[in-house]
A and B are shown apart, each in its own frame.
Chain A
Amino acid sequence: MPRPDGGLITETNRQYYAGAQQFFSANAGSGQTFTSTFDTDLVFGSSDPANSQFGLNNFKVFTSATALTWVELTPVSSQTTGTTNGAGSAAGASNVIIAVANVNVIPGMVISNAAGTVIYGTVTTVTNTTTFACNITLAAGIPAAATALLFKSAQPWSELDNIVTIASYLPASTYIKFQLSETALQQNYGNYEYTRLTDVIDNFLIAYVGAGKILPSVKRSDVIFHAKRGLQEFSYDTLRSIRSQEVTVNQVNKAIIPQDYVNYVRLSWTDSFGVQHTIFPANTLTTDPFSSPVQDNLGVPTQDNFDSNLTGTSQTEAAWAASDPRRISGAFENSGENPELSNQNSLYQLSLGQRYGLNPETSQNNGWFTINEREGVFSFSSDLQSKTLIIEYISDGNAYDLDARIPKMAEDALYSHIAHGILSTMANTPEYIVQRYKRERSAKLRNAKIRLSNIKLDQIVQVMRGQSKWIKY
């Protein structure tokens, strides 16, 4: 189905794949409006590429007479010219009369000389196609001679709440196209997998709340609260909302914790092949103390003249940063830099990790990390300095507007979560009702976890084939 036909899909194939929406304007005129039906909200900064706010736009506007060759609508593409009839115009409120009729001149256009180097003023009202009431700001006015003028709109189009107003004059039978930017387009791809949280809230209010239902009335803010809390809880263990970030470990062996970080899934560094090497937490080896007060000779913490504790540099952190991890892991060579098996031919490399009695937790050469809560950073062992780091972590689904959505596989579980959340906090709800919804929530959440665990038969078969191999002990 290339076009929406009343189902959940509201975008055409062209809108989804190409990020383009086309309109046809049968009538000529300026100030025409066109309504976007993209799933993505339009963002507007300016319609002038020379304006610093233009970069905020997440779309562009094009016009065409044939729908084959498109021209971006900008102040330059919509500018028009005219030559005065020689009468000249004085400074202040004054009429500008051009010799040849021009329908493209609209109120708000800036009038300049043909080269655009001298600004005369702006058009305030269009009296007719040759006469324009203007505000001439140049003290000398427009000279009393046939003067070539350039009329240019500062903003040929604008956008508010997904309605685009094209200030420029459009001839009859003009095609207009909105083209989403690459980033906006990519954010929209695969969106059908999700239901927006706003839809979940509205659907819940429709289906679960009302006269004769289990919830006769409920405050919408309660539903919003439980929906957002549900999304947070689901993000931690049910949803596939693993985020990842590639950064470089800095010169002091640290990397800043991502802004929407809640907990880590895995930290790894990548080698020259792009292969990931898991970095392990240095739980049993070291830590980053939250506070390291400066003590006097008797060991008593000291304060400054504002009564705040004086703090010093952590000796533990300094010692850890200066240590050689190979002396802890037992690795003689940092062979992780050379992932090719053909090069690992020395005796020591082959026997790495095979020596009797070693602790596997510390006998590895991928490095260690700690979380420095005081500074809000991940700290790494010195062998990871300047390495490319991949931080895989989970967020809570509420950090950004785009996060406020839930996989359709878990949508029903969220409804049950909201229903249970509200019923369990309402006075006079029979306990058996609360228990029923508690069980329902639990069952649906389990279903959601199974669905989202992405177990595919083909993959299981492939793994099971490995069982037939001979394994020597």
Chain B
Amino acid sequence: MAINVNTVYQTVLLILNKEQRGYMTPVEFNKIGGQVQLEIFEKYAEDMNQQLRVSQVDLDYSDRQLNIDEKLSIFKTSDTSTYSTSGFILPSPYTGLSSASQLFAGVNLQLIYALTGNALTLANQNAISSVFVADVELTPAQYSITGGNLVLVAQPAVNAEIRVNFYAKQFYRLGTVIYTAGAMPIQELERVGTSELYHLLSSNLTKPTTTYPVYTYINSFLNVYPTTIQSGISVNYLRKPIDPIWNFTGNAQYVFAPATSNNFELHISEQTKLVLKILLYAGVVIRDPEIIQIAAAQVQQEETNKKS
């Protein structure tokens, strides 16, 4: 589903290099790529809000709400929230360790490889992983990360290098908060503001109960009411997209290194917009107003088409 970072980079370079307009280094591309990915990602929520107010056609592939939801679904995730004296802690807070990589080279042929160091730390945090065997990325069905080990489904070829990359899931935006207690019906918590909380707590009809609990969201903590709830809270949230990396080997000439690179996580349908927006920023970098103008016009036209 992801957009290949090399395809995007090569396309950008191709357009930029036309008529010898300029060049974009991998470092510039990586920075701008991350910026553009976040920009497109952040806009989904606004687009969705806009589309929710418009009636949709119930036809395959043309429901705009569903299309945006499909793009967002890549980043939807769910985790349990742990209780502390200050409230429930949001899952996947940024701890400073955003990525880790472990290489298994010259190892005996086997299916299970023990993870160590930062890779193990992130594996235990249920981080996003990618595995490359001889520079070829495995599909999620071809491996699993279990109990601090990388478990392959099939034996790798003799002397094949195995690289496992981990990217920490970073909390981006809070979705629904769920309360589960044994075999009781699962309940969604209602988010309330601090000012209305006091009225709710003192109201005899709307006082929060374990059937209808509420929470306040303050300083990355979820304060759940009634306060007897001290476990069973899970959180649906959007995680932050992983920054794209176009990595290379060699000094004289950049040679794309897929195993240490990272693709754009956006939905594959965003490839055109991604290239155009990177070109827009590239125009700023190489100080070419014509590129900026063309890219901006293209992006604008695409936006208009999508929302008209």
Question: In this assembly, does B8 line the interface, its C-beta being within 8 Å of a C-beta of chain A?
Answer: no
Residues 226-242 of A, flagged 1 when their CB comes within 8 A of B and 0 if not, give: 00110000000000000
* Whole-angstrom CA separation of A229 from B184 in the bound complex: 25
Q: Is the CB of B190 within 8 A of A212?
A: no
Asked if A161 meets B182 with Cβ closer than 8 Å, knowing A221-B192, A221-B214, A224-B212, the reply is: yes
Q: Is the CB of A35 within 8 A of B190?
A: no
Question: In this assembly, does B218 line the interface, its C-beta being within 8 Å of a C-beta of chain A?
Answer: no
Q: Is the CB of B184 within 8 A of A161?
A: yes
* Whole-angstrom CA separation of A219 from B188 in the bound complex: 12
Q: Is the CB of B181 within 8 A of A161?
A: yes
User: In the complex, which of the residues B53, B183, B206, B211 contacts A163, with contact meaning CB atoms closer than 8 Å?
Assistant: B183
Question: In this assembly, does A220 line the interface, its C-beta being within 8 Å of a C-beta of chain B?
Answer: yes
* Whole-angstrom CA separation of A37 from B184 in the bound complex: 10
Which interface class (under 10, 10 to 19, 20 to 34, 35 or more) fits B?
10 to 19
Query: Using Cβ atoms and an 8 Å threshold, which residues of chain B touch A229?
Result: 205
Query: Using Cβ atoms and an 8 Å threshold, which residues of chain A touch B185?
Result: 198
Interface residues of A in 354-407 (CB under 8 A from B): 398
Question: In this assembly, does A80 line the interface, its C-beta being within 8 Å of a C-beta of chain B?
Answer: no
* Whole-angstrom CA separation of A229 from B183 in the bound complex: 29
Interface residues of A in 194-252 (CB under 8 A from B): 198, 201, 211-212, 216, 219-221, 224-225, 228-229
Q: Is the CB of A161 within 8 A of B212?
A: no
Q: Is the CB of B205 within 8 A of A225?
A: yes
User: In the complex, which of the residues B52, B190, B211 contacts A221, with contact meaning CB atoms closer than 8 Å?
Assistant: B190
Question: In this assembly, does B200 line the interface, its C-beta being within 8 Å of a C-beta of chain A?
Answer: yes
Q: Is the CB of A219 within 8 A of B205?
A: no
User: In the complex, which of the residues B55, B182, B211, B212 contacts A212, with contact meaning CB atoms closer than 8 Å?
Assistant: B55
* Whole-angstrom CA separation of A212 from B58 in the bound complex: 13
Query: Using Cβ atoms and an 8 Å threshold, which residues of chain B touch A398?
Result: 205
Query: In the assembled complex, how far is the CB of residue A32 from the closest CB belonging to chain B, in whole angstroms?
Result: 15
Query: Using Cβ atoms and an 8 Å threshold, which residues of chain B touch A220?
Result: 190, 212
Q: Is the CB of B206 within 8 A of A225?
A: yes
Query: Using Cβ atoms and an 8 Å threshold, which residues of chain A touch B206?
Result: 221, 224-225, 228
Query: Using Cβ atoms and an 8 Å threshold, which residues of chain B touch A22?
Result: none
Q: Is the CB of B183 within 8 A of A162?
A: yes
Residues 203-222 of B, flagged 1 when their CB comes within 8 A of A and 0 if not, give: 10110000110100000000
* Whole-angstrom CA separation of A229 from B185 in the bound complex: 24
Question: In this assembly, does A461 line the interface, its C-beta being within 8 Å of a C-beta of chain B?
Answer: no
Question: In this assembly, does A115 line the interface, its C-beta being within 8 Å of a C-beta of chain B?
Answer: no
Query: In the assembled complex, how far is the CB of residue A429 from the closest CB belonging to chain B, in whole angstroms?
Result: 16
**Complex: chain A residue closest to B232, CB-CB:** A161
Query: In the assembled complex, how far is the CB of residue A423 from the closest CB belonging to chain B, in whole angstroms?
Result: 18
Query: Using Cβ atoms and an 8 Å threshold, which residues of chain A touch B181?
Result: 161
Query: In the assembled complex, how far is the CB of residue B54 from the closest CB belonging to chain A, in whole angstroms?
Result: 9
* Whole-angstrom CA separation of A175 from B123 in the bound complex: 42
Listed by A's residue number, 24 A-B pairs whose Cβ atoms lie within 8 Å are: A35-B182, A160-B182, A161-B183, A162-B182, A162-B183, A162-B184, A163-B183, A211-B52, A211-B53, A211-B65, A212-B52, A212-B55, A219-B190, A219-B192, A220-B190, A221-B190, A221-B192, A221-B212, A221-B214, A224-B206, A225-B205, A225-B206, A228-B206, A398-B205
